[in-house]
A and B are shown apart, each in its own frame.
Chain A
Amino acid sequence: MLNKEVTIRNATGFHIRPAQLFTEQAAKFQSQVNILVKDQGVKVDGKSILGLMTLGLALGSVIEISADGPDEEKALESLVQLVEGGFGEV
């Protein structure tokens, strides 16, 4: 399993569009993807748009993305890139 901490950089956090882009991307990989929010002590399935949205994350929130499976390296890299790129909104 691989994981990495990233900071939400787009103003809206996981609003519909970013959450939709994230889960769409996560679903392309076989690996199990999870998102952990340490200060809330909550973990959700990274392929669940409902899970992501209900975290209520905003600009500046720190999350840990983890990927576990045969394509974990690629999965983690592309998801981190998506978040750090601000979902094309920054």
Chain B
Amino acid sequence: MSQELNIQGLGVSEGIKLGKAFVYSPVRLEDVKDQKTDAPDMEAGLLHTAKAHCLADLDALVARANDILGEEKAVILKGQVSMLNDPSFFPPMEKLIHNDKWTAETAVRMITTQTASIFESMPSEYMRERAADVRDVGSRLLMYVRGRQGSQLSDIQEEVIIVADDLSPSDTVQLDKQFVLGFVTRIGGKTSHTAILANSLGIAAILGAGSGIEQIKDGDLLAIDGATGVCIVNPDAKTIEDMREKMRFQEESRQQLLAYADKAAVTVDGFKVEIAANIGTPEEALGLLGTGAEAVGLYRTEFLFMSRSSMPDEETQFQAYKSAAEAMQGRPVIIRTLDIGGDKELPYLELPHELNPFLGYRAIRLCLDRPNLLVTQLRAILRASAYGNLKVMFPMISGLEEWRKAKGIFEEVREQLRLENIPMAEKIEVGVMIEIPSAALQADRFAKEVDFFSIGTNDLVQYTLAVDRMNEKVSYLYDYFHPAVIRLIKQVIDASDRHGKWTGMCGSMAGDPLAAPLLMGLGLHEWSMSPSAIQKIKRQIINLNRSDCQELAERILDMDTPAEVRAALEASQA
């Protein structure tokens, strides 16, 4: 029996899992040394057989991508097939073998790295990223040249925990997600591709576990905790029992929380708020059934635009919005119009590279400059409004002119659809997101004209405190408990109250249990959060007393620093 071994990494996606390790070791082009051969014909034969294997692999992957992973991934894989058949890729490898007597391995490495470096030097980011596709093709060839040395994710046929150096986007195409219990990787952090993937699929993940993972062998039993980042290799009987106990406990608390799904979020003294969910796709709206979400407070439409190679047309958008509306069966769905630019790029919009993207050409600014984008989206939303309870909000509004222009386009589109006799909902609420301090400071003016506000705390904090939270050097300053941010939130809620409107919040603050008494005290009407937070927040609200919360909020508004605010909130929950 092997010795139990503890490895500590970064827990990036919750879940306690027990399972067999699948050690993923792709072959690495950079490890191939320059080597000559005496038998070029044999080497060329190896190369040809490898190509045939690769084409067969890619065919199967394309079929799978078409079925489950969407058009975008299928396009990339088809591109890889074309690269293999390219006259400037494969034939030069053969030449290197026959004319210069390089081995097949060396020839593959030379041509692949040479081709990849051409892409890497191109000005367009999209093209630079294609270098990874070239390397993928080359690595696959190399694997077969070596007689299938290394392992492939598409080989997985049972439930496993994948142990790897790192996982690339093209690796994850090959994954059969039903078999993946968890990930443990040597490198990677909270914002890496693997972390995002694990979170969206609900797969437990430990990243950045370091060189310790080299001691894990294929088939070793692993016990991992994706919250704490602990990975135990070859756990002994006692550890296994402990882990099983933890899994039972996890399941139990999940069950207990489930009891809150159907409860209304009403405080002890009878103040009711609406608990909503943030979603990115209509399929997620279907998944809300049973979570206790009373509405969709934020439908991020950009995913519809991101997972493809060209603009989605009106019909495609209409179908998506209609499915979301229908999935919620008459409960509200707030659709945010395209929020692209900044950190989210759309290759087909050909947006110029900016030095300061968060202060630049993005979201409503982009849509007002290219009104066709907005008109198409609003037509699709208005048409879908006949199938449920849709509301619209505009992101990144900095002043009243922007709002009036956007609202003007909305009215024009509605008039046009009326003329076309297209069925729509009688009344559709239209609101603005409060993400920019200038809009928060003018909330009283906006409140006369809009139907509602939705506070996006993530951007509001970034713009109020002038801090980029992805910058590790300054991210400590990023804090929604900063008194200045709290004052802005209060102004917005008060302004909506005075004009008989309502305020929601769709940033991560709304799903933070620590913030709940404060937001309740400030009088937030609608709370929209990640679906996994809903039951926890409901349980907490049911135990709150609004008048106590109002007193607490009064005290907090008089504080100097985020630390004081946190301390007061922590004390209130002790």
Which A residues are within 8 Å of any B CB, using their own CB? 10-12, 15-17, 19-20, 23-24, 27, 45, 47-51, 53-54, 56, 58-59, 89
Contacts and interface: CB of A to CB of B under 8 A. Distances in A.
Contact of B122 (A12, A54, A89): A54
B131 to A, nearest CB: 11
A89 B124 CA distance: 20
Given A49-B83, A49-B86, A12 B127 contact: no
Contacts, number: 73
A35 B130 CA distance: 21
Contacts of B83: 49-50
B130 A16 contact: yes
B472 to A, nearest CB: 33
B310 A89 contact: yes
A53 B130 contact: yes
B130 A48 contact: no
B122 A56 contact: yes
A51 B88 contact: yes
Interface in B81-125: 82-83, 85-89, 115, 118-119, 122-124
B86 A48 contact: yes
A20 B133 CA distance: 13
Give the residue among B79, B118, B119 with the most A Cβ atoms within 10 A: B79
Nearest to B74: A17
B126 A59 contact: no
Contacts of B45: none
Contacts of B350: 11-12, 58-59
Q: Is the interface of B mostly helix, strand, loop or mixed?
A: helix
Contact of B78 (A20, A48, A54, A89): A20
B119 to A, nearest CB: 7
Interface residues of B, number: 29
B349 A11 contact: yes
A51 B134 CA distance: 13
Given A12-B310, A16-B75, A50-B89, A23 B122 contact: no
A23 B81 CA distance: 11
Given A11-B349, A58-B350, A59-B350, 13 more contacts: A11-B310, A12-B126, A12-B350, A16-B75, A17-B309, A20-B79, A48-B89, A49-B79, A49-B86, A50-B89, A54-B127, A56-B124, A56-B127
Contact of A48 (B76, B87, B123, B349): B87
B357 interface: no
B347 interface: yes
Contacts of B133: 16
7 contacts: A12-B309, A16-B130, A23-B86, A48-B89, A50-B86, A54-B118, A56-B127
B399 to A, nearest CB: 30
B366 to A, nearest CB: 14
B348 interface: yes
A88 B325 CA distance: 30
A54 B133 CA distance: 13
Interface string B289-330: 000000000000000000001110000000000000000000
Contact of B82 (A10, A11, A20, A89): A20
Nearest to A59: B350
Interface string B202-228: 000000000000000000000000000
